[in-house]
Each structure stands twice: as C-alpha cells, then as structure tokens.
Structure 1
Amino acid sequence: MSSPDPQRDGTPSSRLMTIALLGAGILVLAGGGAFYLASQKVARPVEAGAIAVRVGDKSCEPMDLTVPAGRSVFEIENASNRPIEWEILDGVMVVEERENIAPGFRSQLATRLKPGSYDITCGLLSNPRGKLTVIASAHSEAEKAKPPLKAFIGPLSEYKVYLVLQSGQMIQATKTLQNAIEAGDVAATKAAYGAARVAYRHVESVSGRIADIENAMDPVAAYLAGREQDPAFTGFHRIEFGLWRESSVAGLKPIADKLIADAATLRDRLKVLKFEPADLSGNSAREARRLAEGPVISGDSLYASDDLAEFAAAVDGLEKPVSLLLPLVAEASPETVKTVTDAFAATRAEIGKLGGTGTPVAYTDVPPDARKTLSASFMALADAIDRINPALGQE
C-alpha cells in the first residue's frame, strides 16, 4: 500500500503551515506598531497652561524657557525626523524626562521644579542644549517653607525635655523654700523663692495656659474678691506677700506644701502634654504679648518688686522653643531669623538698661515711660516670633 498524499487528502503541508505562521506574526507586529502609533496620536488632552516645546532637527523652540517654581506641564512635540527623548537636567542629573517620542508626535510631562537654572536636551545629543530657568513663586516659597512633619520631631522632643527639667528644678527650689520656711529663715526663703520663680518663668508660656494649675500656683490678688485675704490667694504670690509685705514666714508652710504638690502635678502634666509644631513659637508669641500688655505695664511682683529679674527669666523661656526652630526657619526665610534674633537682643537690652541683668532694681522705681518702652519691646518681640509659623508653612 502506498503512503497517503497530504495534498490529495486535504491535509496542509508543513511548508504551508510555516508560511501561515509567519504571516500571522507579521500581522501581529504590524498591529502592535499601529497601536503604538495610534496611542501616541490619540494623546491625552492637553492640560490647560501646558508649555509648548517644539524639538526640531537641530534645536528646540524656544531654546530659553522661564517658568515659576512648583508644578509645570510641558507638551513636547517632535518636529524632527528621528525619535527623541526630552530631558530636564540639573548638572549631570536627570530631573525629568520623556523617552521615545516618535517623529510628528507629542508627549506631555508634568513635574514639580524648585527655583534654579536647568538644561534641556533638544533632540540629538550633539545638538546644543536649551535653558530652563525656574523662578521663585508664592507657591514655591510656601512649599519650600513647609518642612516635613518629621523635621519637627527633634525640636518638639527637646522642648518637652526642657519643660520637664525646668519643672523639676522648680520643685527642688520650692522644696528648698519649704525647708527655709520651716527653719524660720526669711532671707534664705527669699533666695529660694527667686530661684523657684526663675524656673517657673521658663515654663510659663505653657503652664500659663493650663488654667487650674495657673490659678493654683500663680493667682493674682487683684483678681480675687477678698484680695490678699481671700482663701484662694495661694501659691507663689501668697508666699511673696508674706516674705516682703509682712517680712515673716508665719503661716507659709501649708502654702509651700501645696505649692510643691502643684509643681509636681505641673511636671506630670508637661510630660504627657501634646504639642503641635505651631505651638512651639505660637506659645512664645502669645506669652510675649501677654507680658507686654499686662505685667510689664502694671508690674507682676507687686510685693518683691523684682519684676526685671523675672522678665529676664521669661525671655529665656520664650527663646528656648524658638531657638529650636531657627535652623528650619533659616532654610525657608533667613530674614525672619534675623528679625527674631534682633528682637530678642533688643528686649534683653531694654531690660538691661533698667538694671534687670545686674544690681537689682525695684520695679516700683521704673517710671511709666520706661515701662512703656519695655512693653513696646516685648510687643515687637511677639510680632517677630509670629513670623515663624508662616515662614514654616504652619499657617
């Protein structure tokens, strides 16, 4: 029996199968190429405000571009006869690029650019490069001014440690004060009182906003119905009244005992108090303004009259959180750093003129005009500190 003839019985030969497969492959490739070209031809709609760049055989049109910092969209048209890539270069580093733009086609590139001078490629590597100048804008300054939240972790943590340490020092000074009261030593009690007040002033921009603690540790007699005789007249000023107005420690032990307990409560509160980045400078500005509008004009230590020493301590307390932010501010707004630094120096200078950094001068001897000048200095300090949060994009 003879072998079957594939051509006779209708079975296709292997040669025909090969030809058919090759033909199908060509059709697939052609279809893929057509799809690629169609996908470039049917590009996404041009975004409003897109900057047109036409890349020819020898150069770009335009060769020099200027755009505001922030987000920009470029529409790159390949007007040459070869596929191109278009790059934005910062020195030798590629900032952004679009590759394989076929002749006659367009491609969009969206990017965010910082202020500076960049190069742009214009087709062949041998072609001259164009220039892209990015200028600062309100948006870019705001973005530049807003550090990532993690940048505030260090300042927030360090300030929390400072508050706890200062409240701890206040507790120790208050215990020394208590011991002096028990010993009946008025002079030693006065010295310990001054040390405790310095530590208190260092944290008052925060503690002063905790109402129950403030009302227990630092109530002012003028705000109480019975004034100095009112049962709610406790804390620092009650001890101050006994030492300087009555020149005695009689009856002060229970006041000191409660003051120690309140100081311990304050320390515990400060340990767990939550801060936002804006609070660091915000609290200082608020406290500087409070001092300017009230205590500096009317006096705060009405019995000891050692306000200047306390104001000097208050400035130190205001400066601590601000100083932790200044490295961040320096990157965003160097002029704000200078304004704030100068304001702190000016306020200290005004206190120094009145004797607050040398021989003690009774605040009762400071005339009204001098108090107004010092008040204006604290107000200017508050205004300067108020510039920090906007400079850091916190408002």
Structure 2
Amino acid sequence: MITGAALAVAVATVAGVLVARGSGGSAHRTVAADGLRHTTVGVTSADCGRGWTRPEPGRQVFDLRNTSGAPAEVYLTDPRTGAVYGEVEGLAPGTVRPLRVTLGDGTYAFKCLPDDADAVTGPTVRITGAKVKSGPAAVPVTQQDLIPPTLAYQKWIQGRTVELVRRTDVLRAAVDRGDLAAARRAWLPAHLVYERMGAAYGTFGDADSAINGTTAGLSGGVHDPGFAGFHQVEYGLWHGGSASGLRGPADRLDKAVRALRDSWPGERMDPADVGLRAHEILENTVQFELTGRTDYGSGTNLATARANLEGTRVLLGYLRPLLKTRDTGLTGLDSWLDRAQHTLDSFHHGDTWTPLARLTRTRRERVDADLGELVERLADVAALTDVRRTA
C-alpha cells in the first residue's frame, strides 16, 4: 500500500517539482528535476508573497501554495505599473500550483486575491544585474476600458442588420417569384453579411438559431421542425426543393432578420466578453466551417471562413487601442491575418468559391495551418482583454 507521504512524493516527482523544506517547515529555493529554480511562495492574506527572499533573474518557477480555506487568484506584478507577468486562477485551498516566468531587472510583487476577501499585495522585491529581459507583461484591462470599443462595435452591428435585411429581401423576392437560380445567387451575399457579425451571436439569443440554425441536436435532421434560417433555405435550393416549398422558410428567415434589426438597438453586449469573442469567431470557423459541418449544399464554407476572418478584423480594429500598449505580438497577428486572407482569397473565382471537397491535400493543409495559427494567436487577445480583479 502507498502511504500518504509516498503518494505526495510520487506526485511531486511526476510534476517535476521538488519542494525543499527546512526543519522548521519554511520553504526555500531549490533546483528541481526540470532544471529550473523553484521557490515556494505563500498566497494567503497573511503571507502573500512570503518565501521569496532571494530574488534572482532568469527562467524560474514559483510554486504557489494556498494554505487558507478559500480559493484564490494570484498575480505576479510590477507594483509600480500594475502590469501582470503571470497568473494562476482558481488556486484551491491546500494545493500548490506552478507559475513559470522569466524575470529580468525590475521590481516585482505578488498580489493575492482570495475569494470574498480584499486583495493583498506582498512585499516588493528588486532584481538587478540580469542578463535576460523579463517575459511579456500587460496592465490588466478593466470593464470601463472595454465599454467604448463595445459600444462602437454594437453600432457597427446595427449597420449590418440593416444590410442583412436588404440582402435577405432580395433572396425572399427571388423565391417568391419562383426564380430559384436567382435565389441561389442571392443566398450567399445575404448569408455572408450575417457571418461577419460573429462576435454578437451571444447577444442575439434565440434569433441566432432562427437565422442561422443547423441540424446539430435535432433528431429529425434537415426535416426537423426546429431546422430554420439560412441553412434550411440553402438545403432546399441545392437539393431540388421547389419554389412553393421554399417560400415558407424564406419568409420566416426574412421575418427573423427584420426582428433582429428592430430589436438590436435595445440590446447590450457584455464588454467583458468582447475579447473572448475575437478568439471564438475563428475557433468556431476551424471547428465548423473547415470541417464542412455547416455545408448544406452550397459548397461555400471557404466563403464563410473569409467572412468570419473579416468579422474578426473588424472587432480587432475596435480593440486595437487597448491592444497596442499590451500585445507585443500584434504585428505578428496582423501578418497572419493577411496571410490567412490571401490563402482564402485564392479559393474565390468570380462569383464562385472552391468547395472544401475539391481542395488538394496541400491546399487543405495550408488553410488549416493558417487558420489554426490565427486561433492560437487570438487566444492571447482573449487573455489580455480578460477583465481581472484588482482589489
């Protein structure tokens, strides 16, 4: 039988962490199996930052130890500016979790934020004579910071809802007069207007499923009564549906987009979600568009991906004033946006787009790689714009 002490040693060994303790039980620096300097640091209100008594530069690990009875968030900060070098969220009572950072010359302090208690800032330490630069740090974004870009984006969405109604009217009118060839030509321009609005989907509520619902979760598939919106019309247009059979779905779609246009001025997006949405737009693109899961016959997933990319650019444009002073990788992100756009544009030929199924393996791998890299880089935007506790 493994004893509790033996189990603790096993866990520490697997994690590559060896915590050295003196006879008095206080933690001190040691070099662990991972070859990095480890320092055990307390994060409770009473001992926030305690244990870091010999600050040294370089790549290192702080083993954050919560001996209190409440969960806590922990930040390693520059006490002069409030910039955060690293964080651990949800540190449970009685647990130890690592925080890996690279530190150069500067001043540092741990900030501990227990649940249901005020923040506590530990002692300030100074590092001098370093041969390396500190890892990236960013001043936390507040809810107040995010209100102006959120309001500006909401105004942009209002304009798109007007355009959406206009484009959908053209689609409905073509169906009404029985011109299904014209309806197929009108379907994509209308659908792409909606796809550019991706950051607002969470605020749309039930309107999203009425306008752009899929068969996911519907037992009846494309024949389920809950299947509605652009994709229901798409299925009929590209699977031999009749004009009479499509009039009902097209009319309901038209009413849904008009209801969205009329209700949108009274909606309010949550500023705390805006940065996350910048990441989620293309994350959903990779998950649904690049897998063909949302193709109901038109073969236009790559056009949708291009619209999603454009929607991401719009949202980043409103967030850019906040990101310019926080995201050192912004130039690289812009380069990857350009690269992905160039890749997607290569599949556009006049009024048509190359279906996913017709891509060569090389071209498929390229679009997957470009969009996948963007999703990774946009995760940094989500992290930087995450509203953090400061008190």
Offset at residue 368 of structure 1 (A)? 5.6
Aligned partner of 1:287 in structure 2 is 281
Equivalent position SS for 1:332: coil
Which runs of no fewer than 5 residues in structure 2 stay unpaired? 1-49, 53-76, 82-132
The Cα RMSD (Å) is 3.3
Return the match for 1:352 from 333, 336, 345.
Answer: 345
CA spacing shift, 1:70–1:356, aligned 2, 3 Å: farther
CA distance 1:302–1:363, shift in 2 (3 Å):
farther
AA paired with 1:383? E
* Amino acid of the structure 1 residue aligned with 2:163: Q
The change in CA–CA distance for 1:272 and 1:291 in structure 2 (over 3 A counts) is same
Distance apart, 1:237 and its partner CA: 1.2
Q: Please, which runs of 5 or more residues in structure 1 have no aligned partner?
A: 1-47, 50-67, 73-135
- Alignment partners' CA distance in 1, 2:323 and 2:311: 19
Report the AA paired with residue 345 of structure 1.
Answer: D
Contact 1:218/1:236 (8 A) holds in 2: yes
Q: After TM superposition, list the pairs within 5 Å mapping 1:14-93 onto structure 2.
A: 70-71=79-80
Corresponding residue SS for 2:369: helix
Give the whole-Å Cα distance in 2 for the aligned partners of 1:222 and 1:332: 38
Match of 2:266 in 1: 272
> Highest CA radius of gyration, 1 or 2?
1
TM-score (structure 2 length as normaliser): 0.59
**After the TM superposition, which residues 1-395 of structure 1 pair with which residues of structure 2 at under 5 Å, given as runs?**
70-71=79-80, 141-142=137-138, 145-146=139-140, 149-207=143-201, 210=204, 212-221=206-215, 223-246=217-240, 248-333=242-327, 335-355=328-348, 360-367=353-360, 370-392=363-385, 394-395=387-388
Q: CA deviation at 1:231?
A: 2.2
Alignment partner of 1:176: what SS?
Answer: helix
Secondary structure of the corresponding residue to residue 252 of structure 1: helix
Is the deviation greater in 313-322 or in 184-193? 184-193
Percent identity of paired positions between Structure 1 and Structure 2: 21
Q: How far does the alpha carbon of each residue in 1:47-77 deviate from its partner, in whole angstroms, 9 at most, with x for none?
A: x99xxxxxxxxxxxxxxxxxx95349xxxxx
| Counterpart Cα distance in 1 of 2:141 and 2:227 | 45
Residues 356, 203 of structure 1: CA spacing in aligned structure 2 closer, same or farther, 3 A cutoff?
farther
Deviations 1:326-350 (A, max 9, x none): 12211223x2211321221122122
Amino acid at match of 1:203: M
Aligned mates of 1:365, 1:372 — CA distance in 2:
13
1:270–1:369: structure 2 CA closer, same or farther, 3 Å change rule?
Answer: farther
Structure with greater helix share of residues = 1
**TM-score, scaled to structure 1:** 0.59
- With over 3 angstroms needed to count, the CA separation of the structure-2 counterparts of 1:357 and 1:277, relative to structure 1, is farther
Residue 207 of structure 2 aligns with an amino acid whose one-letter code is I
The count of residues paired between Structure 1 and Structure 2 equals 265
Which letter does structure 2 place at the counterpart of 1:346?
R
